[in-house]
Amino acid sequence: MIADLKFALRQLSKSPGFTFIAVLTLALGIGANSAIFSVVNPLLLKPVPFDQLNRLVLLRESLPNQGLKEEGVSPADLNDWRGQATAFDELAAYRIRDIAITGSGEPELLRGCFVSADFFPAVQTNAIKGRAFRSDEDQPGRDQVAVLGYGLWQRRFGGDASVFGATVTLDNRAVTIVGIMPPDFDFPYGTELWMPLALTPEQMSERSKRNLYALGRLKRGVKVAQAQAEMLAIAKRIEQQHPQTNTDLNVQVIRLRDQQADFTRPLLSVPIGMQDFYC
């Protein structure tokens, strides 16, 4: 083997151009495969670490007759769903938005998520330090609290336990840190901190703006098809009561795991194309 290796090195040294191309091709091929794995590993091989993941579903409104296949959910519709649906243990709402943090280190723009009080019970994930939100904190005026992602806690605060009860400035508001999520908690994908959604009564009555995401936990034994049928029936009742905003409005119930695959597929197209090109 040593003799073969020496022979190969002598041959390569005689053709530096070929050697350069061969090394470059190998490097690009390895890089492409590494890029694919970096996407596949967190999104497919390690799906969101929720207990009984198959019971978690996303609910989306759509207007197929107007060419709008997927939209968010209006606060008023979600409120009606909570009062009428029987297929779910929890129906939570969340909204993703970048949040500026100042007052502790350099100013930084973070990926944040505003969540309803039933968000963490829906995913059945608790803070590993401190706590998640109380139900009374999902109200305007009582929502000056935040839960940090583990990575943000380590990166910005050095894992300092004294951060609990400390005040930071988020979007020019003084907010108290009350908890730290587990290291593998990453939902929605890329989120670094969570704050209460805390909608006002006026916002809760909004039906034309579909600016929320809805997450549900199915009751034990309830199938997605059963939840879908119930939600379509509820949507018809809401349409009759509010024809100006809900005519032809459809509701889709999709497993969170399936939605994750739909999200991953376009992300994989670029690195797979790179692999095909270089390999």
pLDDT of residue 269: 47
Burial annotation 203-238 (CB, 10 A radius, 16+ → b, else e): eeebbeebebbbbbbbeeebebeebbebbeebbeeb
What's the whole-number mean pLDDT along residues 85-109? 93
**Whole-prediction pTM:** 0.77
- Give residue 29's pLDDT band: very low, low, confident or very high (50, 70, 90): low
- Give residue 5's pLDDT band: very low, low, confident or very high (50, 70, 90): confident
- Give residue 65's pLDDT band: very low, low, confident or very high (50, 70, 90): confident
Least confident window among 43-47, 132-136, 246-250: 43-47
- Check: CB of residue 205 under 8 Å from CB of residue 165: no
Q: How much is the mean pLDDT over the chain?
A: 85
pLDDT of residue 17: 72
- Check: CB of residue 193 under 8 Å from CB of residue 110: yes
pLDDT of residue 69: 67
pLDDT of residue 16: 72
Q: Whole-angstrom Cα distance, residue 278 to residue 38?
A: 18
Q: Whole-angstrom Cα distance, residue 209 to residue 76?
A: 9
What's the whole-number mean pLDDT along residues 57-69? 82
Contacts 24+ apart (CB under 8 A), 24-28: 25/278, 28/274, 28/278
- Check: CB of residue 192 under 8 Å from CB of residue 99: no
What's the whole-number mean pLDDT along residues 239-264? 84
